[in-house]
Structures are given as structure tokens and as C-alpha cells.
Amino acid sequence: MERLKDKIAMVVGAGSIGPGWGNGKATAVTFAREGAEVFCVDRNAAAVAETVKIITGEGGKATAFTADVSQADQVEAMVAACLKAYGRIDVLDNNVGIAEMGSVVEVNEASWDHVFAVNLKSAYLAMKHVIPVMVRQGGGSIINISSIASIRHVGISYVSYGASKAAMNQMTRTTAVEFAAGHVRVNAILPGLMKTPMVEHSAGLAASYAKGDVEAMWRARDAQVPMGHMGEAWDVANAALYLASDESRYVTGIELVVDGGLTCRAG
Ligand SMILES: NC(=O)c1ccc[n+]([C@@H]2O[C@H](COP(=O)([O-])OP(=O)(O)OC[C@H]3O[C@@H](n4cnc5c(N)ncnc54)[C@H](O)[C@@H]3O)[C@@H](O)[C@H]2O)c1
């Protein structure tokens, strides 16, 4: 149970927008269970406090920090605070993400810009400030949480979400190549249909799937997947654990798909 022993891990988007387990919350708890000290960041102070409470309640070590990571000054402050608390950053998990519905015809410009700021600019800013630290230390592992919506139309119209995640994939590949010599690994995880609070509380998703009926949305999502069911936040957390640990030391620039076989199916 010590796959991340002696590592300092920063999880950005470590809360969850409702009760239950979001991907970042499960990842922060998994990292702590494997011996990492976790610097947990979220714009929602109560949500990130809950994640830290779970970790410390289990005997793990974690610190909460509140920031809107679409804002450059707040990302700089986040990195400075982590360095002040721990002196290094071995793992960065960029997990924040939002989905707003609509095709290119329907999405308004403000919504487009907002989705790109939260989903893409946040990861750019975090890497911009964390990579120099990792290079100075002699290396590190960065995990960008993308989505299978970056490579497929999954039946829901949210073009800005898929486009921002697709850009994240290419930013991941490019950055992996550019910092490989500095032993900074940069990988993406592409979750499929996960059963998380974000999905449960998105009126737009429930409306798109099943006219607002959340139970019917769960059934529709289960039915889409070859394995017959959605994934859980823990499936994303376990993939992130592998990429954070030294077990993946020769792996960089990949898109790790975690989707129960969904993207393998033609229709
Ligand atoms: N749930 C799914 O089916 C699914 C599928 C594919 C990809 N993903 C991706 O997984 C990630 C997490 O999803 P989740 O379902 O666990 O969502 P979630 O909303 O439960 O967790 C995301 C957290 O990020 C925080 N956050 C959002 N914007 C922020 C900002 N600007 N600054 C700081 N914190 C911010 C939220 O407060 C929340 O606590 C997202 O990137 C999402 O796109 C989810």
C-alpha cells in the first residue's frame, strides 16, 4: 500500500460537486492511501475540506487550498502554497472540468470561452508553473483528465467540452515530448461514462439523455457501454495511481482510455 511513498501529489479539482465520489476526490483519497501527501485544490472550499477530512480521518496526510484555477494569479498562488507546505511537487493531477450543452450553432461565445478556460487553460496554467519545479527536482508525473468525448461523439451534444478535451490531449503529447528529457512524464486519462456527482447534478446532461429523468439517464448510459454499466470514480483514480507511480516510469504522452470498451464499438 505504498506505491506513492514519499511523494507530494497536487490534485486540482479534488472536491466533488455533490455528495458521493467524483474523479478528483477518489484520486486524492487513493493517492493518500498509497502513501502520498496530497495538496488538494478546488474552487469549492467545503468540497475540498471534505476530501481532506476523509484523508486525515483515515490517517493520511493532506492540505486544502481554495482556488479558481482558470485564473493565472490563483494558479501561481496555488503552486507557491504547495511549495511552502511541502517543498516539492512529484505528481500533478489536472482534474477540473465542466460540460455545457450545445452544438456550434447553439453554444454562445461566453459559454465557449468559459468551458475552454476551465477545462484547458487551467491545465496549461498548472503545468506552466509546476513543470519548472519538477525539472529542478529531477522529474515528476502529470496526469491530465480528458474524456472519451475528445475522440468520439458519445451521443450528447457538447461540442465545447469535446473540443477543449481534444486540445488537452494534444497539449499532453506535445508537453510530454518537450519535457521528457527533464524526466517529467505527461499523460492523459480518457474516462468514459462514469457515475459521478457531476453527471448526476448536470441538468443539461439529464435533459439530453432522458428529458431530465436521472434514473432513466443512468439506464441509458449503462446500456451504451459494452460492459453493461458505467464506470466509477475509483476506476479513474486507479488509472491515475498507475500513472502517478514509478510503475509507469517509461510511459509518457499516452491517452489511457478507461471506458468499459465504449470507444471500441462502432455504434
Ligand atoms: N463523470 C464523467 O462521466 C466524466 C467522463 C469523462 C471525463 N470526466 C472528467 O473528469 C473530471 C472530473 O469530473 P467529475 O465527474 O468527478 O466532476 P466533479 O464536478 O464532481 O469534480 C470536479 C471538481 O472540480 C472543481 N472545479 C471546477 N471548476 C473549477 C475551477 N475553475 N477551479 C477549481 N476547481 C474547479 C469542482 O468544484 C469539482 O469539485 C472532469 O475533468 C471531467 O471532464 C468525467
Which whole number is the average pLDDT over 164-173?
99
Could you tell me whether strands 8-12 and 91-94 are parallel, antiparallel, or unpaired per DSSP bridges? parallel
> Quick count: other Cβ atoms within 10 Å of Cβ 207?
13
Residue-averaged pLDDT of the chain: 97
Does residue 136 surpass a pLDDT of 90? yes
Ramachandran area for residue 137 (φ above 0: left; ψ -120 to 50: alpha; else beta): alpha
- pLDDT-derived band at 39, boundaries 50, 70, 90: very high
Residue of 158, 161, 209, 250 marked active site: 161
Helix (H, G, I), strand (E, B) or coil at 140: strand
Closest residue to atom 42 of ligand 1, CA basis: 97
Q: Is 13 in the pocket of ligand 1 (CB under 6 A)?
A: yes
Query: Which of 43-47, 94-98, 197-201 is least confident?
Result: 197-201
Catalytic residue check, 161: yes
Q: What CATH architecture applies to the domain 8-192+232-257?
A: 3-Layer(aba) Sandwich (3.40)
Query: 0.85 cut: is pTM over it?
Result: yes
**DSSP code of residue 155:** S
CA–CA gap between residue 232 and residue 191 (Å, rounded): 10
Which whole number is the average pLDDT over 151-166?
97
Does residue 1 surpass a pLDDT of 80? no
Q: Is 168 in the pocket of ligand 1 (CB under 6 A)?
A: no
